[in-house]
Amino acid sequence: MKKESDSRIRPAINFFFTLPKFGTGGMMVVIGAAIVIILVAMTILSPFITPRSPIQLSVGPADAAPSLSFPMGTNRLGQDIFSRMIAGGSTMMEVASLAVAICFLIGVPLGLLAGYSRRLIDGPLSLLMDSLYAFPGLVLAIAIAAVLGRGVVNLAIAIAVVYIPTYFRVVRSQVLTMKELPFVEAVKVEGGGTLNILFRQIFPNVLASVAVIASINVADAVITEAGLTYLGLGVNAALPDWGFDIYYGYQSMLAGAWWTVLFPGLMVVLLAGGFTFIGEGLSEVLNPRLRR
Amino acid sequence: MSLKSFIVTRALLTIPTVFLLVTIVFLIVRVLPGDPALLHFGKQVNPTALAEVRHSLGLDVPIYVQYYNYIIGLFHGNLGIAFSNEEPVTPQVLSAFPATLELSIGSMIVAVLVGVVLGVRSSRRYGSLEDKIIRTFGAVVYSIPVFFLGLIFIGVFAVAFHILPSGGRYSLLIPIGGTFFGVHIQTGLYTIDSLLAGNLGEFVDAVRHLILPCTALGLYISAVFLRITRSNMLEALGQEYVTAARARGLKERTVLYSYGLRNGLLPVLTIMGLEFAGLLAGAILTETTFAWNGIGTYIVTAVTDRDYIAIQGAVVFFGILVAVVSLVVDILYAYLDPRIRY
């Protein structure tokens, strides 16, 4: 059993290192992954590497411009923005990854089920998902977040509801074409059960497209989280948080202190951009029709 | 299927979607943990007063009765009574709508122009440096939260250079519309109202206020148009009729625009319909950034006030709007491309 998992991981690692050979798409994956890994490592290590406390008030003068002692300046409360940037990604990363996990765990099985069964399950499910899909996502997320209240899990749920239909649709459409293919027919003839066919035969084959959606989706989730926090629906204003810092820097920026908004904004862009690069690159690598 | 029966089928299909949507919103507000009335007033309110308010807002009856009243209300265009000022939600939402509409239309124009032009350029030189730069631009713009883009614009154009206003919809007077063939018309769209009044100063003022928010929101959405135009153009340019046109010695310009773009543009229309939802979502954040008094600002205020009926009303309004827009776009699409109907 162990040996089998080894032999599965090794190709994955090899795949990663051969990515640059796949042209622009492969390079995008590598660059995106590098950005994400650096940001995640920075966030995890933040207790040890921030030069000052990210939450202590008045470590410097209020709204001080970037200088040698405060490389990114200070905010209205005299907090060190540089330290807040190093530590401020954790909430966003937790919420975004949890949201994507929820999407995956709900969207993929429902998509498999709907694609494989006809009418009775597929009809109502598709209708429900289409209604959700057609809805302005952020508006729905605001409503859910407002009702559920603050918290990492609540925010993740609010964001997940918006994106579950995307997973559902992609998986469902893939299953629809795949279930007619000879290899599925073969398993059916051998007497394989429905669950076996769904999860052991079809599921591994839809994973590639789910991976593409998931990585683009993390980017969306990051941006949505930042947006909800910006609107005042964030998890906890006491923790350093990029989204909250943008919201909080607004007044200072109108008075000319651009650094209070610019740096947290750039951090969000970097994180979302990293995931977008991974997703875009993956879709190009995995879709040979786009490659020439 | 004839166009007429396509329209009827498509319109009928909208009904369950809207119905489900309306139900989902109702469930979110009433069934998720937490008593909306209690949440709104906090814990210090005395039980008698709370019961009184619940009664006056129709929240003291069983949930299915509430649902029934809510649906019946919707048929009458009644979105309920807001907690915060105890006034009906419908007129409030309707009076905020023109601001959002004006912002959305302006942004859509920016998005389509930027997206289609860059998409065509990008597809023309597939794999070239220009293609890579444009694609990177698309990925970067899409990764920038729209409110951050707006804040950058404010920082540069309003705070640093004082070229354009940092927010709001007007700085002179509220444009009040004008008389057109003997009828007084006031649309709430300030660009149109000022023109109707024949006041050019107000018109320029309204446009100046529109530039920054529309560019911010438009650029954000343009990434989607860029991608779809590029891939459709690539597909269209790979078709045999394009090769044939080239073989006949037609000018590259003609091939690109008459053969490629004409066929590559149709899906852009569909995306316009789909992206309308994204546009409205972006509008909420853009409105907050630019102090724009539209539905987005209304929702954010409702969230701050914990006014669940107002949130519910605005969300339902948004949902119905999106459903209607996508219906119209689908019909338009079927009209333009008869293959859709079969």
A198 touches A112 (CB < 8 A): yes
B36–A147: do the CB atoms touch at under 8 Å?
yes
Pairwise pLDDT comparison (B169 vs B114), residue with the higher score:
B114
Q: How far apart are CA A244 and CA A231, in angstroms?
A: 9
Average confidence score pLDDT of chain B: 82
Nearest residue in A to B161, CA atom: A256
Question: Residue B211's pLDDT band (boundaries 50, 70, 90)?
Answer: very high
CB-nearest partner of A268 from B145, B306, B319: B145
pLDDT in tens, B110-164: 998 999 889 888 888 777 888 888 888 887 887 788 899 999 999 899 888 888 8
pLDDT in tens, A178-196: 878 888 888 888 877 777 8
B100 touches B293 (CB < 8 A): no
| Three-class SS of A148-210 | HCCCHHHHHHHHHHHHHHHHHHHHHHHHHHHCCCHHHHHHHHCCCCHHHHHHHHHHHHHHHHH
Q: Please report the pLDDT score of residue B110 as a whole number.
A: 93
Q: Please report the pLDDT score of residue A282 as a whole number.
A: 84
Question: Residue A101's pLDDT band (boundaries 50, 70, 90)?
Answer: very high
Proportion of chain A above pLDDT 90, given as a percent = 18
Nearest residue in A to B15, CA atom: A131
pLDDT in tens, A125-169: 888 888 887 777 888 888 888 888 888 998 999 999 989 998 998
For residue B294, what is the DSSP state?
S
Q: Please report the pLDDT score of residue B224 as a whole number.
A: 85
B80 touches B70 (CB < 8 A): yes
Q: Please report the pLDDT score of residue A292 as a whole number.
A: 41
Task: Give the best residue of A138, A169, A215 to mutate against chain B (max B CB count within 10 A).
Answer: A138
Question: Residue B1's pLDDT band (boundaries 50, 70, 90)?
Answer: low
A148–B306: do the CB atoms touch at under 8 Å?
no
Q: Which residue has the tokens 């009809």?
A: A123
Taking the alpha carbons at both ends of chain B, their separation in whole angstroms is: 6
| pLDDT at residue B19 tops 70 | yes
Within B32-88, where are the H helices? 36-41, 47-56, 63-75
B151 touches A253 (CB < 8 A): yes
Q: How far apart are CA A272 and CA A223, in angstroms?
A: 7
Q: How far apart are CA A246 and CA A249, in angstroms?
A: 5
Return residues 145-184 of B near A (CB < 8 Å). Answer: 145-148, 151-152, 154-155, 159-160, 166
B318–A132: do the CB atoms touch at under 8 Å?
no
Q: How far apart are CA B80 and CA B311, in angstroms?
A: 10
- Please provide the DSSP assignment of B211-268 as one string: HHHHHHHHHHHHHHHHHHHHHHHHHHHTSHHHHHHHHTT--HHHIIIIIIIHHHSHHH
Q: How far apart are CA B307 and CA B67, in angstroms?
A: 18
ipTM above 0.85, yes or no: no
The predicted model gives A50-73 an average pLDDT of 81
Q: Please report the pLDDT score of residue B330 as a whole number.
A: 81
The predicted model gives A205-213 an average pLDDT of 83
A292–B126: do the CB atoms touch at under 8 Å?
yes
Pairwise pLDDT comparison (B144 vs A16), residue with the higher score:
B144
Question: Residue A41's pLDDT band (boundaries 50, 70, 90)?
Answer: very high
| pLDDT at residue B37 tops 90 | no
pLDDT in tens, B303-336: 888 788 888 888 888 888 888 888 888 888 778 7
Burial (Cβ within 10 Å: 0-12, 13-18, ≥19) of residue B296: buried
CB-defined contacts A:B, below 8 A = 153
The predicted model gives A236-259 an average pLDDT of 85
A224 touches A98 (CB < 8 A): no
CB-nearest partner of B284 from A139, A149, A265: A139
Q: Which residues touch B327 (CB under 8 Å, ≥6 apart)?
A: B10, B11, B14
| pLDDT at residue A7 tops 60 | no
Q: Please report the pLDDT score of residue A289 as a whole number.
A: 56
- Token couple for B107: 């942004």
Q: Please report the pLDDT score of residue A13 as a whole number.
A: 64
Selection from B122, B316, B201 nearest residue A140 by Cα:
B316
| pLDDT at residue A2 tops 70 | no
B148–A269: do the CB atoms touch at under 8 Å?
yes
Instruction: Measure B277 CA to nearest chain A CA, in Å.
Output: 4
Question: Residue B62's pLDDT band (boundaries 50, 70, 90)?
Answer: confident
The pairs formed by A288-292 with CB atoms below 8 angstroms and a separation of 24 or more are: A290/A25, A290/B231, A290/B234, A291/A22, A291/A23, A291/A25, A292/B126, A292/B127
The count of residues in chain B is: 342
Q: Please report the pLDDT score of residue B114 as a whole number.
A: 93
CB-nearest partner of A142 from B20, B303, B326: B303
pLDDT in tens, B74-106: 888 888 888 777 788 899 999 899 999 999 999
Pairwise pLDDT comparison (A196 vs B56), residue with the higher score:
A196
| pLDDT at residue B107 tops 90 | yes
Proportion of chain B above pLDDT 70, given as a percent = 91
Provide the phi-psi class of B126: left if phi over 0, else alpha when psi is between -120 and 50, else beta: beta
Q: Which residue has the tokens 């614009």?
A: B153
| pLDDT at residue A53 tops 50 | yes
Q: How far apart are CA A187 and CA A180, in angstroms?
A: 12
- Dihedral of CA B110/B216/A213/A138: which sign? negative
Q: How far apart are CA A43 and CA A65, in angstroms?
A: 24
For residue B170, what is the DSSP state?
-
Average confidence score pLDDT of chain A: 83
| pLDDT at residue A4 tops 50 | no
The predicted model gives A8-20 an average pLDDT of 63
A227–B139: do the CB atoms touch at under 8 Å?
no
| pLDDT at residue A1 tops 50 | no
The predicted model gives A50-63 an average pLDDT of 80
